[in-house]
Amino acid sequence: TEDLFALLSNVKRHHPDVAGVSVGAIFSSYQANRVQHVCDRLGLTMLAYLWHREQVGLLREMVHDGVEAILIKVAAMGLGKDDLGITLKQAMPKLISLSEKYGVHACGEGGEFESFTLDCPLFKKRIVIDEVETIIHSPDIYSPVLYLKLKALHTEPNLVISLVWIAKICFIDSSHLTNSRSIVNNAADSAPRVAINHSPAVGHTNADANDLSLQLSGPTPEYALAFTDHIYCINEMSKLGRKGRMTELFNYMYLRVEMFSRKHSTHIDVWRDMINSGYDRALVVEDDVDFELDSVAVINRALSALNSTSTDWDILYIGHCSMEENQRKAHSAYSRLHKSTHPFCTSGYLLSRNGAKKLFAYFIEHYQQARALDIQLVALIKRKLLKSYSIYPPVVYQRRDLYPSDDGMELKIAKKFKNSAWNEALAFVPRLANWVDPLDSVYLHPAFKHIPSWMEDGNTVN
């Protein structure tokens, strides 16, 4: 981040008329947030031209428009040494097939591959690779990580510049352009005004090229994770402050989440809603959790591993407080995926429709209020009534720095947690640093007696 800040600061000094920065992020909030943070500090506008584009269509469009790029790193099931150095055009059929079968991101947004552009109609010169070395970073039999070390390159003149691409420099398709700040703030009026051309080359109708005052379309909504139909956050209305804190965190992560708020919200209520809504997969988290920064990629790899081996499953624990979830042999396709042992705690899990039906039917009849839900779930797993898997270390954990607890096991598993999304969010949403959780008025410092309006509805703890 600081290197980018130094670079753009230097650009501004030499070109004070520069007002914006274009970023190529498609779904990576990790990239977009860093660029946005630097732009905020320098008074620049960040433009994410490709944000939330449908990836298979975008891949086809890049190949169609003459982008010559090669794969220089692979890190996903189905990709290997033979794929290094091939062009996007050559890789496209396989990437689309892997996307359809296993949920692999066709444009590599989950880290499945990295590419290097040798030539495109915008380049004055094309890049030629003279010498490369293949590096094996991880020799996993199912999902190896390999990359090309580019040791020698030179450029050659590129005499042909496509008129189509010249047009695209001047006129930008508004359906593919969004100001990422408008995503975060949900403010359509903050988007810049640009000229727009609906190019026939990508299947749109023509617009008046002289009209320079066309507004961008409204802000792009947050996205649900690619491997789910819905995301629930169980929130009890009596837990003041939690709804506001989690809403801020989800907004930061660009996740579309339903705050499942009831006077006494339960997991059983969520299962019922999932079944009635017809969801095939749903992610369920509690309102006192934090996420690992790369949680999306980890969950995606775990599901890809399950799908690749046609593994039937009911529940996938992404958050738990068990130190023993790695005792059983790791799944053959992903080293962080294991059959569940006793995944205590229900801080975060992915549920299949079949799993939701099983759990709802069982607990409607057998639920024991005197016994913790997570213990009852572990009992079902032990009796082999529930097909359960766990990610270890987990990518979701309960924040015990904000929510005091005497549960030593939760504190132990928390020590394995790194790269906190919450801690990173503090750098971008400074007001979160002033938040104190009113679990009970005893924990409240007098300065925080009143809950800020942006968290709830101006509620006061009595």
DSSP for 21-33, written as a single string: EE---SS-HHHHH
24: tokens are 């190529």
What's the number of CA atoms in the CB half-sphere (13 Å) around residue 240? 20
> Which region among 6-15, 78-87, 191-200 has the lowest average model confidence (pLDDT)?
191-200
Cis amide leading into 393 (omega within 30): yes
**Which pLDDT value is given to residue 349?**
96
The reported pLDDT for the residue numbered 432 is 62
81 vs 77, 137, 139, CA distance in Å?
A: 12, 12, 10
The whole model's pTM is what?
0.52
Query: In sequence order, what are the beta bridge partners of 115?
Result: 71
* pLDDT above 90 (res 116): yes
pLDDT digits (tens, 9 = 90+) for 396-407: 988 766 555 544
Percent of the chain with pLDDT over 70: 71
- Report the percent of the chain where pLDDT is more than 90: 25
Mean pLDDT of 226-248: 80
Mean residue pLDDT of the chain comes to 74
Give residue 355's pLDDT. 95
Could you tell me which residue, 69 or 221, shows the higher pLDDT?
A: 69
